[in-house]
Amino acid sequence: MLEVAGLSHRYAGRESQLAVTDLSFSVDAGRLVCIVGPSGCGKSTLLRCIAGLIRATEGTVRLHGDEVTGVPADLAVVFQDYSRSLFPWLSVAGNVEFPLKSTRMSRAERRSRTDEALEWVGLSGARRKYPWQLSGGMQQRVSIARALASRPALLLMDEPFASVDAQTRFELEDLLRRVQREHGSTVLLVTHDIDESVYLGDRVLVLSKSPASIVADLTVDLPSERDQITTRESGEFVKLRGEVARLLQNRELAHSPERNA
Ligand SMILES: Nc1ncnc2c1ncn2[C@@H]1O[C@H](COP(=O)(O)OP(=O)(O)OP(=O)(O)O)[C@@H](O)[C@H]1O
């Protein structure tokens, strides 16, 4: 579904900054792949290149074989800051339906897609409410519904649960896993939370410090049915989170400042 080959990006300007360097990986359809890396390593830059929001300085991104040169129509993004990504003057249903209005879909189909996506995230009863009448977790569920309503080939998520409390985070993680499995969505999710990357992912890509490069591509050998308590207590989970933590802490991964010059 997604193929990233030799991707590098350097921000231009007086203090030009190499943000990602020589990244190559692919994601199969129907998989949930997590990217974990230290703060400021270049995770958002990588997602922006994949989303076609910025043009990589080197390398290519292909979505089902086609090179990404602008924002692909069948791609959706969920950001961390739900409060800035939802329109406060539109109802929950209005927010979910909004991107569908730029397609050729009939009104009836838009309505049915909206209802379906709201059902997936358990918000059918809140369709007439406004974002400011909802909790943070519910607002992020609206963002997820909006992304899923267009049935994207690829869903990109940039720290989607970083702004909610721990309990809500667990609920949203379980919701994402359920929806992703039930609908076979392909998801690439960026997080700085090691436990979250292992709990959610079929695979975890571990990035180095800035400029980001891939230091490990780990298969998460956990059952597809996961549970916030028993899975996190399991030997495989504990082993993997330790492995990711060690990779992230390894001082040898720290790039020397000259590499940013
Ligand atoms: N528009 C920009 N212009 C110049 N440099 C930038 C720009 N955006 C990001 N950078 C730099 O590129 C590097 C990677 O930033 P990026 O936001 O991709 O990292 P990140 O891993 O997503 O960070 P965080 O963990 O804080 O979300 C940083 O050094 C940052 O200062």
Q: What is the mean pLDDT of the chain?
A: 90
The predicted-structure confidence for 46-91, as pLDDT tens digits, reads as follows 999 999 999 999 999 999 999 998 888 889 998 888 778 899 999 9
What would the mean pLDDT of 215-228 be, rounded to a whole number?
Answer: 93
- Cβ–ligand 1 distance for 42 under 6 Å, the answer yes
pTM here is 0.89
- pLDDT at residue 113, rounded to an integer: 93
Does residue 88 have a cis peptide bond before it, meaning omega lies within 30 degrees of 0?
no
pLDDT of 260 > 60? The answer is: no
Ligand 1 atom 25: the closest Cα is on which residue? 39
Kindly give the distance from the C-alpha atom of residue 245 to the centroid of ligand 1, in angstroms, as a whole number: 22
- Cβ–ligand 1 distance for 9 under 6 Å, the answer no
Q: Quick one: which of 17, 19, 47, 45 has its CA closest to 210?
A: 19
Kindly give the distance from the C-alpha atom of residue 116 to the centroid of ligand 1, in angstroms, as a whole number: 36
With the most atoms of ligand 1 within 8 angstroms of its CB, the residue from 17, 158, 159, 208 to mutate is 17
Which residues touch 117 (CB under 8 Å, ≥6 apart)?
Answer: 96, 145, 146, 148, 149
Q: What dotted CATH number matches 2-74+152-260? A: 3.40.50.300
ipTM of the complex: 0.95
- pLDDT at residue 70, rounded to an integer: 87
pLDDT-based confidence at residue 256 (cuts at 50, 70, 90): very low
Tokens of 38: 């230290």
What are the CA-CA distances from residue 109 to residues 40, 201, 243 (Å)? 41, 32, 46
Measured distance CA(221)–CA(219) in Å, rounded:
6
pLDDT of 199 > 70? The answer is: yes
pLDDT of 234 > 70? The answer is: yes
Q: Quick one: which of 207, 196, 209, 208 has its CA closest to 240?
A: 196
